[in-house]
Copies of this chain bind each other. A is one copy, B any other.
């Protein structure tokens, strides 16, 4: 029984995350989430009494973990931090292309649509960005870069990945991600 209950909540969160990623916050309704998750409306409200804002915050935490996992996979592929960051852009490019250019950043659209209007969502977004920066910062520190440089470079890496993913999605091309990967590697190389 416990397993089934966990499974339902998880299905609801995954469905919400995918819908928000593909059609944004305003375009996603709780009924559609319930259908896609194959869960009753009653169970959606049972797990998320706070409704759509609470659902969106949980979905953003899910996207946060997903993206952080991808970053760790890419960064773990090489000891050299410049090569490791480039590996992240390759992973992002493949995932984006394989989704038919649909699955970009899991949180950007929701974040922009709810700026200043949904504190519980904004908090989850702020934490996601901070987590991603921390994953990159840790890699740069481990590679011997200074503390300030690692912190600042990590911020630029995450910003550049976000922007390049958007550009790649819009252009339906991997190129913006590959070009940004090359430049981030070059930038990181100047700090070694």
Task: Give chain A's interface residues, CB within 8 Å of chain B.
Answer: 22-27, 100-102, 104, 108-109, 111-113, 115-116, 122, 125-126, 129, 152-153, 155-156, 158-164, 166-167, 169-171, 175-176, 179-180, 182-183, 186-187, 190
Q: Is the CB of B167 within 8 A of A155?
A: yes
Q: Which residues of B contact A115 (CB under 8 A)?
A: 22, 101-102, 104, 169-170
Closest-by-CB residue of B relative to A103 is: B115
Work out how many copies of this chain go into the complex: 2
Interchain CA distance A152-B180 in the complex, whole Å? 8
Q: Which residues of B contact A108 (CB under 8 A)?
A: 108, 112, 166
Q: Is the CB of B160 within 8 A of A179?
A: no
Q: Is the CB of B180 within 8 A of A156?
A: yes
Q: Is the CB of A176 within 8 A of B159?
A: yes
Q: Is the CB of B166 within 8 A of A183?
A: no
Q: Which residues of B contact A164 (CB under 8 A)?
A: 156, 159, 163
A152-B179, A155-B179 given; 8 more Cβ-contact pairs under 8 Å: A24-B113, A126-B170, A129-B170, A158-B167, A159-B160, A159-B163, A159-B166, A187-B190
Q: Is the CB of A186 within 8 A of B190?
A: yes
Contact of A187 among B111, B126, B175, B187 (CB under 8 A): B187
Interchain CA distance A114-B7 in the complex, whole Å? 31
Closest-by-CB residue of B relative to A23 is: B113
Interchain CA distance A179-B167 in the complex, whole Å? 20
Q: Is the CB of A160 within 8 A of B180?
A: yes
Q: Is the CB of A163 within 8 A of B170?
A: no
Closest-by-CB residue of B relative to A151 is: B179
Minimal beta-carbon separation of A192 from chain B (angstroms): 13
Q: Is the CB of A24 within 8 A of B166?
A: no
**Complex A-B: 19 CB contacts under 8 Å:** A23-B113, A24-B24, A104-B112, A109-B113, A125-B170, A129-B171, A153-B183, A156-B160, A156-B179, A158-B167, A159-B163, A159-B164, A160-B180, A161-B163, A162-B162, A163-B166, A186-B187, A187-B187, A187-B190
